[in-house]
Chains A and B, each alone.
Chain A
């Protein structure tokens, strides 16, 4: 009898001991998620939810004027976008703008960085001057360039006239307005790219160039075979960042052209704004937002797929 009681006590003790152990395992499993929960919550509320919600809204017909009425329309908004000639032009404008600002922005900045990557004080001053547009408000930049590009009173046309060239139409002509916006974007963005390139150049060890000099490498081969590959992480970073920001251009269009003349400078984000805020086509605006998201995502993915393997990380 006494023996049976003792066995029961041992069994009870074991089961009592097993319960805290199980709890401990569960707590250990949950613990990492608890650590990242605040950040995850932040991302969920401010990033994932808006993305999911805009995708949801893109399948509905709705307007900011009456948020109560929201009607499921399936892919109608996307079909309407596809059939809209204005939207196709918006897409073409956006691609053209992105190609020019990213391509030229990176090439100009690269050569500027090569030139400015020296120790003398004057180069430091030029670096600061080139970078300064980046820290100026885009609204001020747009206002400044509107004045510079004014057909009658603008400084640029005055300069053209001074050297005996005919005045240029700048923002007032469908053929030149997009080019003018590209010029403004380059002026604003090249400084940032240049500084990033200079930082990249300065991280390349000097003795590699010395080894190349001893190897009789001509300057262009040193540039192509050493500098560019060594700068590939910088190049890749700038390519991705510039592509995304070019796709999202809005401020300069809003202030300088309002998408005109004749839709010639209208681009995706401004189109979304127009559709949502001016024409109260919430569904179309949401569908265009999804198109923007898809295109930026796809391009970024393409960059990673095509260029990612060639990037040399030290």
Chain B
């Protein structure tokens, strides 16, 4: 187990800087998820920690030891790759044992360790098989076993679930989190899927264009996004952002699940401090228990998540009502979140008068 520290880490490829001076502390034993859209530099950051990419500038410390000049094998890290990177010509046993042999373990020790780990991940019946004879899930387990058997200080995972089908992905998500709890080792996990990040990580690092947007636990990211990017990246569907009332330099954001859809003729509950916006339903996505309503308003199109029982029809005039406590205020120029509207007085010029 070890913490990982990145100090002003920068990576430049052919004069293009893809990671821009990252400062990050990944606590010992944490499950840290680097999340962001494609090309944000999350995989490059992970590969720099692994030693598969050189660091253009800055310093990486694993367990307080600078590792910039150490080769990947000497950093005491193990990595699970997106497409597993198993050795196709070796069987499962040799795939797992390869790293142990290179570390000088005896044949007997190798056998004991491989058999133990195969038992843990349920691969015992498949030890003689080649990777091509395994299913996607089994290959994933081989990749995990290969990483686990080395008992590294840090586990690095580069979108390891992206090649699995939805059902298996959900199952593996649960297995990985319980594996992390059991091992207690530092996990650094890269994904572009915010659902994966929210469900697995205990610390999430949201990245965009080579910089860190916010580092926080999942619920803090959801409740208190630091800026517009995080607000719109975390949460599904994304946060609605509309021009603020009265102040042109501000934007307001509210989550689709925090808004309430009222019939067009109704007026918002005066007892509740809420802001209302009239509009017309232009489309509807039924998800099962919930439905997403796309409402065209004078402030632009917004999405409201409501229970299916509401069942408003397309074309209906509705009132979108959002409690003031759930309205986030952002600076239009910087995108930085300034706070919530909670406690502010309601703007009567708009409330109930739109529809």
Contacts and interface: CB of A to CB of B under 8 A. Distances in A.
Q: Do A and B bind each other?
A: yes
Interface of A: 205, 207-208, 210-218, 221, 225-226, 229-230, 232, 312, 314
B234 to A, nearest CB: 29
A221 B87 CA distance: 13
Contacts of A232: 89
Contact of A214 (B72, B82, B132): B72
A211 B102 contact: no
Given A215-B98, A215-B102, A210 B73 contact: no
B104 to A, nearest CB: 9
A6 to B, nearest CB: 64
B274 interface: no
Given A225-B90, A225-B98, A314-B88, A216 B52 contact: no
Contact of A225 (B77, B81, B87, B132): B87
A229 B73 contact: no
Question: Most chain-B Cβ atoms within 10 A of its Cβ — which of A208, A210, A211, A212?
Answer: A211
Interface in B143-163: 146, 150
B26 to A, nearest CB: 18
B308 to A, nearest CB: 44
Contacts, number: 69
Contacts of B87: 208, 211-212, 225-226
Interface residues of B, number: 26
A207 B73 contact: no
Question: Most chain-A Cβ atoms within 10 A of its Cβ — which of B81, B86, B88?
Answer: B88
Given A210-B52, A217-B98, A218-B102, A312 B88 contact: yes
Nearest to A230: B89
A232 B89 CA distance: 10
Given A210-B72, A211-B79, A214-B79, 6 more contacts: A207-B85, A208-B87, A211-B81, A214-B99, A216-B99, A229-B89
B22 interface: no
Nearest to B98: A215
Contact of B77 (A214, A218, A226): A214
A314 B51 CA distance: 28
B72 A230 contact: no
A122 to B, nearest CB: 18
A208 to B, nearest CB: 5
11 contacts: A207-B82, A210-B50, A210-B85, A211-B87, A211-B146, A213-B71, A214-B78, A215-B99, A216-B103, A225-B87, A229-B89
Nearest to A207: B85
B73 A217 contact: yes
Contacts of B90: 225
Interface string B70-110: 01111001110111011111100000001100110000000
Interface string B41-64: 000000000111000000000000
B67 to A, nearest CB: 13
A253 B99 CA distance: 52
Contacts of B79: 210-211, 214
B102 A221 contact: yes
B88 A230 contact: yes
Contacts of B78: 214
Interface string B97-130: 0110011000000000000000000000000000
Contacts of B81: 207, 210-211
A36 B85 CA distance: 42
Nearest to A310: B89
B89 A226 contact: yes
A216 B73 contact: yes
